[in-house]
Structure 1
Amino acid sequence: MTAAGGTRNFRALFISDVHLGSKGCQAERLLDFLKHHEAEHIYLIGDIVDGWQLRSGWYWPQSHNDVVQKLLRRARKGARITYVPGNHDEFLRDYYGTHFGGIEVVETAIHAGADGRRYLVIHGDLFDLIVTQARWLALLGDKAYEVAIAANRIFNAARRRLGFPYWSLSQWAKLKVKNAVNYIGEFERTLADEALRHGAEGVICGHIHHAAIRDIFGMRYVNCGDWVESCTAIAEHADGRLEIVTWTDPARSGFALVAPPAARAA
């Protein structure tokens, strides 16, 4: 449903992998997304803050602070906000059951869809063997990913100057690698099995930065994507339908960005 001023209203929004505190975070796009999308319940499904990056070097521009303030204002205005930490914001796992400014921190959640389907809400890193069994390799991979995202920013800056829309070079390359595709498939199956173990009919997760809505062995698998590469979120309509909302070039859909990506703090 679209209200006056171009705001879309949903029953629930699901957002993951924002990575506030990292240079790859597209905070301005998320701010603009939140400006145009309202929901009764907002789920923050892990890696909202990138503690790994912040430990290696402090980076917190105003736009990142604005995202936090925007969410806190939503909570004050009555939106229910549930925060399920991931591996990059694992420091919050010590605070399960705590409320910060109206935002509740939980280990997992069960979301009851308007259509009667029950979804397990979980970040998903605990089912990633690299994260759980080879943390050093995960940290090394994080550094390599940071380099790829930097290259992606340069690539898209050139595209903008030529008048082309945003396109994720790093995500395209990732999906062209057979091992990455196999990893995504295995991750999806594992999370679907975990949802079944919880007595749910679906799972809504993040972690792998690849938005999806699909049925796997009778289970609904939903991934929010991220706000580093794809700029996607999941929205639940009043009738329970789920939609992937992509917010890479809102201006081309009749919306205007709060600030162009080139204006981000270095």
Structure 2
Amino acid sequence: MRFSQVQVGQLRKHIAGRGDGSMMKMKTVYITGCDRGLGLALVQSFLNEGFAVFAGSYLPEWPELQELKKEVGEQLHILSLDVTDANSVQLAADEITRVTPKLDILINNAAIYTDQDGDIMETLDFTAIRNMYETNTLGPLRVTQSILPLLLQGESKLLVNISSEAGSITDCKRVKEYGYTMSKAALNMQSVLLQNKLKQFGVKVFAIHPGYVKSYMLGKFNTEATVEAQDSARGIVQQLLQPHLIDGPIFINYEGHLLNW
């Protein structure tokens, strides 16, 4: 995703209007999986809202984050992050802690989607399924645990897991895609468990379906998808920046519609 001159101009306008640009005066968000697609679009949307953004990067060969960094400077912090590696996750958390004493929003966005065609009657790639669990389910849990002390010091205290309608047990009509659907269903359960535990500290947990986003989730750009990454990101940010009165974990799509668990 390349940035248009209009988008760059909008970012410059926000930067110019920040006054002294003090990190202490800015809200903060930590987003994983930011090199391209939805993650990159979320970075841009939060920058537009005046947030200081900590962006996890796993694919350094993609230049967009670095190009954006040149435009916005210290408002964007790029972190090397592999959510499947506990040491990488902790190093990223340590780096954030050196910059800010609090975190307002955590968005666990990093995910993979492989082996879509595995069939119980034919062949299942259990290694691919295990890798999806490692990234899509355990990755968010690692990141959440690593940064929780800062999140508890934040003002907003929003914990966001980018899930999927594919993780809905109630509405499932699929007959395959075992790794992705099961890993997202497990992520939804993780979201409920976290809400049950962290509610007492004022944390609100969201599981959000971003829509069928045009992205590289399948290994190459998916032209059959129906939702632009920028539209999904803007919708997600809009949902997160408005008050939610639901008492408990929230499973919604990027437009704010409630989904079945």
Q: Same fold by TM-score, threshold 0.5 exceeded?
A: no
Q: Of Structure 1 and Structure 2, which has the larger fraction of its residues in helix?
A: 2
- Which structure is higher in RCO with an 8 Å CA cutoff and minimum separation 6? 1
Query: What is the TM-score when the length of structure 1 is the normalising length?
Result: 0.37
